[in-house]
Amino acid sequence: MIGIFDSGLGGLTVVKEILKHIPHYKIIYFGDTARTPYGTKSAETVIRYAIENTQFLLEKGAKVIVVACHTVSSTAISLLKSRFPEVPFFEVVSPSMKKALKLTKNKKIGLIGTRTTVESGIYEKLFKEVDPEIKLYSNPAPLLVPLIEEGWLKKPETRKIVKKYLIPLKMRGIDTLILGCTHYPLIKKLIQEKAGKRIKLVDPSEEVAIEVKNFIEVHSELIEKFFSNPGEELEIYVSDITAHFAKIAQLFLGRKVVLKKINWE
């Protein structure tokens, strides 16, 4: 099984892309809805949560772990890799960075993400290593995760807030914008509308799905093919059943979801 986790709904954007690119593999998803948001927590806490989530998915039979969360990818990935050396991990930061490098023409790249992701400085570090001429302009967008978890995907308030977060980046003349949080593709159309046609968006969910696909194709011994019916129900584990989760998940994935609550104790 491919184990995927996020703090909540956001990682479903990755699930959707994985189902699109490699539909014949079994997926187990965990959304840590009881402890969301991660993006306002300290790196120490996020690391602890990430270890527990990984442990849970491995116990359920996952052979590969996809960290479908920018906040965890930017703070905890090296620790996860050293804690579970035998497990292949995928994260969302490096594929997003590579895609942004391919897309930008003027080398001015924008980033929106949670505070923890933006303040981790991971993108500055990676861009500096590969191309010191890249200018990265970032803006934390902390209000977007709660709005998305609340299901306010098209509300005028959400539109205004997106616009406000993008203004300083547009003023810098960016031509590429990294959606540095897996929740944001749920409002990708709105972000594109407010960013304008000239700015190309980097969607982490597409990029990581392609990496997982490439890996699985050459490591077929690790995960068996599983011929599921595309309309089949998807089992999703959560640490709390929240009002909108099932509704948004179903709407977004276009298939029925069955929520299973886990108890950390």
Pick the stretch among 59-67, 165-173, 181-189, 223-231 that binds ligand DGL (CB under 6 A).
181-189
Q: Would the CA dihedral through 178, 181, 185, 187 be positive or negative?
A: negative
Q: Is 69 a catalytic residue?
A: yes
Q: How open is the CA angle 100-96-46, to the nearest 5 degrees?
A: 140
Separation CA 200–CA 184 (nearest Å): 14
Of 6 and 203, which has the nearer Cβ to ligand DGL? 6
Q: Which of 22, 69, 145, 212 is catalytic?
A: 69
Candidate residues 5, 25, 30, 38; the one interacting with ligand DGL per rule CB under 6 A: 38
Q: Does 110 bind ligand DGL (CB under 6 A)?
A: no
Separation CA 34–CA 7 (nearest Å): 8
Q: Which of 181, 195, 208, 216 is catalytic?
A: 181
Candidate residues 31, 37, 95, 140; the one interacting with ligand DGL per rule CB under 6 A: 37
Of 176 and 182, which has the nearer Cβ to ligand DGL? 182
Q: Does 181 bind ligand DGL (CB under 6 A)?
A: yes
Separation CA 210–CA 203 (nearest Å): 12
- Number of residues engaging ligand DGL in binding (CB under 6 A): 17
What angle, rounded to 10 degrees, do the helices at 12-21 and 245-253 form? 30
Distance of CA 191 to the CA centre of its chain: 16
Of 186 and 257, which has the nearer Cβ to ligand DGL? 186
Query: What's the per-residue H, E or C state across 160-224?
Result: HHHHHHHHHHHHCCCCEEEEECCCHHHHHHHHHHHHCCCCEEECHHHHHHHHHHHHHHHCCCCCC
Candidate residues 3, 5, 10, 166; the one interacting with ligand DGL per rule CB under 6 A: 10
Of 10 and 127, which has the nearer Cβ to ligand DGL? 10
Q: Is 37 a catalytic residue?
A: no
Q: Does 36 bind ligand DGL (CB under 6 A)?
A: yes
The site for ligand DGL (CB under 6 A) is made up of: 6-8, 10, 36-39, 69-71, 114, 117, 145, 181-183
Q: Which residues are catalytic, by number?
A: 69, 181
